[in-house]
């Protein structure tokens, strides 16, 4: 008899819990809530940085996770949250100023849908041909360079967020320190939530100094008071323009590299060969991004925060992520919750951005070290150097009516340069 599409989750009460096993339901629900907490900081921060409604983004993270669960047959433990790969290209495509709602949100959504379509097509191709060509097209030196270029491209936005005044700079730097303190000195769960807890610390300090002591612009809670406890998310339809689509769609390449690394990491942690599911993982993430873009959400991706929780707990049951997705959906139906998130002060967002964008850039080094990339090889060295500089300097390429921004230029430029250079000749 052929294997069923979904596994039959076997009850297990101790030791490592495999993807096709489960804990008793009370523990499964508690672990699902923990995964929501782990993803929350970044999933709420990314839409704020792009001028999206964080309530809608969290709602679609739940929808996307359920879609991913269904399309991978409930066999790949992952949570889909807001992807930071879209931040730079969305800001470039919409001209977003960095605060408040993004007035060109529909245009950004059209580009996100386009990226999802590209991503889904790659998933279909991988599902039918295997993963070897993906790893050959984008070896670790390239994935690292692309990720590093994204982080460096975003750096000016983060610095601008804490530079409006001396008070803003102080609050931003305190937020940076708080995130680092929780990450390095935190115990237990607090060490897994440095962005969330660091942001909360900065928020409280800003609230006291601005609202009570008058050092800065007071936080206005009138929108929170006026918001209903329960209500439908504010969905937005996409508008499709060639310029935005060509600028944002290349983010799919970054998502491929990101998801590839995540699937391999989860496989290593759980002791399962999950490579055969890679095509379906790409397809599920791509479809989830399309659905999010059609309704006003950010593009989504598998989340390292949730991988960290799995690494700590050794619990990989995919049913935990069904619970997490349902909790996210419930949060998405609370306008008051969304209004509260939007009161996050600009300097606090800037401080969090310094850390988060810096971590994106630093991830490049981790990819290179873990994969033992040889920078004595001039092909690797030149490719990485060119990609990082193109990303940091926001190199923009204009070809007729086609425009490729810094992230796209770094991504496609690195891939082309690496393969055009070929292997170095042996020295005599």
- At 255-294, the pLDDT tens digits run 887 787 778 777 777 778 888 888 999 999 999 999 999 9
pLDDT given for residue 37 in this prediction? 67
30 falls in which pLDDT band (50, 70, 90)?
confident
What pLDDT was estimated at residue 304?
Answer: 65
Higher-pLDDT residue of 424 and 126 is 126
| pTM beyond cutoff 0.75 | no
Percent of the chain whose pLDDT exceeds 70: 92
Phi-psi region of 400 (alpha: psi -120 to 50; beta: other; left: phi over 0): left
Yes or no: say if 78 and 240 are a contact pair by the CB < 8 Å rule. no
Answer whether residue 402 shows pLDDT above 60.
Answer: no
Residue 409 has pLDDT above 70, yes or no: yes
Q: What is the pLDDT of residue 1?
A: 36
Distance CA 326, CA 36 (A): 10
Please give the Cα distance from 58 to 164 (Å, whole number): 29
CA distances from 181 to 55, 155, 176, 188, 201 (A): 28, 21, 9, 13, 11
Mean pLDDT of the chain: 84
**What is the per-residue pLDDT across 202-253, written as a single tens digit (0 to 9) for each?**
999 999 998 888 888 888 888 788 878 888 888 999 999 988 898 888 888 7
């Amino acid at each position: 008899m052929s294997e069923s599409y979904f596994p039959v989750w076997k009850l297990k009460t101790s030791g490592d819990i495999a993807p096709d096993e489960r804990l008793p339901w009370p523990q499964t629900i508690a672990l699902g809530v923990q995964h929501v907490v782990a993803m929350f900081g970044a999933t709420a921060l990314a839409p704020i940085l792009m001028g999206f409604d964080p309530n809608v983004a969290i709602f679609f993270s739940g929808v996307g996770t359920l879609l991913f669960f269904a399309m991978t047959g409930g066999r790949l433990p992952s949570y889909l949250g807001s992807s930071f790969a879209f931040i730079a290209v969305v800001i470039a495509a919409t001209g977003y100023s960095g605060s408040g709602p993004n007035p060109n949100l529909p245009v950004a959504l059209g580009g996100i849908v386009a990226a999802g379509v590209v991503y889904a097509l790659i998933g279909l191709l991988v599902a039918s041909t295997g993963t070897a060509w993906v790893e050959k097209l984008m070896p670790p030196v390239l994935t690292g360079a692309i990720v590093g270029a994204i982080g460096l491209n975003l750096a000016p936005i983060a610095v601008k967020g804490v530079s409006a005044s001396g008070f803003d700079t102080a609050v931003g730097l305190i937020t940076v320190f708080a995130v680092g303190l929780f990450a390095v000195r935190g115990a237990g769960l607090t060490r897994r939530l440095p962005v969330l807890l660091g942001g909360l610390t900065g928020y409280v300090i800003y609230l006291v100094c601005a609202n009570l002591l008058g050092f800065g612009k007071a936080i206005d809670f009138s929108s929170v008071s006026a918001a209903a406890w329960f209500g439908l998310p504010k969905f937005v339809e996409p508008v499709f323009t060639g310029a935005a689509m060509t600028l944002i769609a290349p983010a799919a390449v970054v998502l491929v590299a990101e998801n590839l690394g995540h699937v391999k990491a989860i496989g290593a942690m759980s002791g399962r060969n999950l490579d055969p599911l890679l095509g379906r993982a790409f397809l599920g993430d791509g479809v989830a991004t399309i659905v999010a873009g059609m309704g006003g959400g950010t593009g989504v991706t598998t989340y390292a925060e949730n991988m960290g929780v799995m690494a700590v707990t050794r619990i990989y049951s995919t049913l935990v992520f069904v619970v997490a997705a349902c909790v996210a959906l419930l949060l998405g139906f609370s306008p008051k919750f969304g209004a509260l998130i939007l009161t996050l002060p600009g300097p606090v967002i800037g401080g969090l951005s310094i850390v988060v964008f810096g971590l994106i850039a630093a991830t490049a080094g981790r990819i290179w070290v873990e994969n033992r990339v040889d920078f004595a090889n001039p092909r690797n060295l030149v490719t990485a150097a060119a990609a990082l500089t193109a990303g940091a300097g926001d190199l923009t390429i204009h070809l007729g009516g086609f425009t490729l921004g810094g992230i796209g230029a770094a991504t496609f430029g690195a891939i082309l340069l690496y393969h055009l250079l070929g292997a170095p000749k042996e020295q005599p």
